[in-house]
Amino acid sequence: MNKLVEKRTVDMQIIGDWVEPGSRVLDLGCGRGVLLDYLQQTKQVRGLGVDLDFQKILGCVRRGVTAYQGDMEAFMRAFPDRFFDRVICSRTVQELTDPAAVILEALRVGRAVTVGFVNHGYWKNRADAFFRGRKPRNPVYTTEWFESRPANPVSIADFEHFCVAREITITRRALLRGDWKTPCPFRPNLFAGYALYDLTK
C-alpha cells in the first residue's frame, strides 16, 4: 500500500468510527464514491454523494453509490432541515468558493457535519512556504498551482476561529500528526498534518 492510499484509509477509518450504523450520509464532493462505498460496506449507511463532474458520478454508479451531479449548495437547498444524519465534507472545504455558506447549509440539512482537511499550519507546510517559497506539495496535494483548483490554505487555527465566529459547536475532533495516524495533542496547529472535526449548530 503506498503512502497516499494509506493516508486516505486512515481518514476513512476515523470517519467510519464517527458514523452511526445505518444512518443517512451525504458526502459533499464525493469524488468516485470511495468513502461512501467504504461506509456502506462497514456501516451499512444510506449514502448519497454530490459532485460536479460526470466522471465522478460514473465512478459512484459503478460502485453502487447513488450520486447527484451538480452544485452542492443548490442541492442542499432542495432538502428540509435535518434531512441527513451526517454531512461529510472531506478534503473539499479548501476548494469552496464560499466555505461558510456551504458549512452552514450543511449544518441545516445535517444533524452532524464532518469536515476534514489538510492543516496548512503544519510545520512542514510552513517550512515549504518559508524555505522554498512555493505552494506546498505533498502526497495528497500532488499538483502544481497551475494544474489545481483555487484552494484556501486553511489551518487548524483558521478553522477553529471560524467555528467560534459562527457559533458552531465542535463536538469531536481528530488531530493527527504528519503520518496521519498518531494523535497530536500538543500544539496541533504546528504539529498536526491532518484535522477532522465533527460539528453541530
Partner 1 sequence: MNAAEEDLSLVPPEPGEVGLVEPHDFVHAQPFTFESGQVLPGFTLRYETYGRLNAARDNTVVICHALSGDHHCAGIHALTDAKPGWWNNFIGPGKAIDTNHFSVLCANVLGGCQGSSGPSSIDPRTGRPFGLAFPFVTIRDMVRAQKLLCDHLGLSSLYAVVGGSMGGMQVLQWGIEYPSFVRRLIPLATTARESAQAIAFNEVGRQAIMQDLDWNRGDYPKGGGPRVGLAVARMMAHITYLSDESMDKKFGRRRTGAADNPAYTFDVQFEVESYLRHQGESFINRFDANSYLYISRALDHFDLPAAHGSLEQAFANVEAETLSVAFTSDWLFPPEQNREIVLALLRAGKRASYAELAMNLGHDSFLLESGELYTLVRSFLGSPRTP
Query: Under 8 Å CB-to-CB from 29, ≥6 apart: which residues?
Result: 50, 51, 72, 89, 90, 91, 92, 95
* H runs (alpha helix) in 54-98: 54-63, 72-77
With contacts defined by CB under 8 A, name the span among 65-73, 153-161, 168-176, 186-194 that binds partner 1. 65-73
d(CA 180, CA 191): 11
Q: Does 123 bind partner 1 (CB under 8 A)?
A: no
d(CA 79, CA 106): 10
Among 37, 51, 105, 198, binds partner 1 (CB under 8 A): 51
With contacts defined by CB under 8 A, name the span among 53-61, 97-105, 125-133, 152-160 that binds partner 1. 53-61
Q: Does 79 bind partner 1 (CB under 8 A)?
A: yes
CB closer to partner 1, 95 vs 160: 95
d(CA 188, CA 148): 27
CA atoms within 13 A on the CB side of 190: 2
User: Shortest Cβ distance from residue 69 to partner 1 (Å)?
Assistant: 5
| C-beta separation of 113 from 200 below 8 A | yes
Q: Does 60 bind partner 1 (CB under 8 A)?
A: yes
Q: Which residue has the cell 502526497?
A: 139
Query: Under 8 Å CB-to-CB from 198, ≥6 apart: which residues?
Result: 18, 112, 113, 114, 170, 171, 172, 173
Sites for partner 1 among residues 133-152 (CB under 8 A)? 140-143, 148
- Site map (CB under 8 A) of partner 1, residues 172-201, x = contact: ------------------------------
Q: Does 59 bind partner 1 (CB under 8 A)?
A: yes
Q: Does 61 bind partner 1 (CB under 8 A)?
A: yes
User: What is the distance in angstroms between the CA of the first residue and the CA of the last residue of the chain?
Assistant: 38
With contacts defined by CB under 8 A, name the span among 12-20, 75-83, 97-105, 187-195 that binds partner 1. 75-83
Q: Does 68 bind partner 1 (CB under 8 A)?
A: yes
CB closer to partner 1, 26 vs 191: 26
Q: Left, alpha or beta for 69 (phi > 0: left; psi -120 to 50: alpha)?
A: beta
- Residues in contact with partner 1 by CB under 8 A are 4, 8, 29, 31-32, 34, 48, 51, 54, 57-62, 64, 66-70, 75, 78-80, 83, 91-92, 95, 140-143, 148
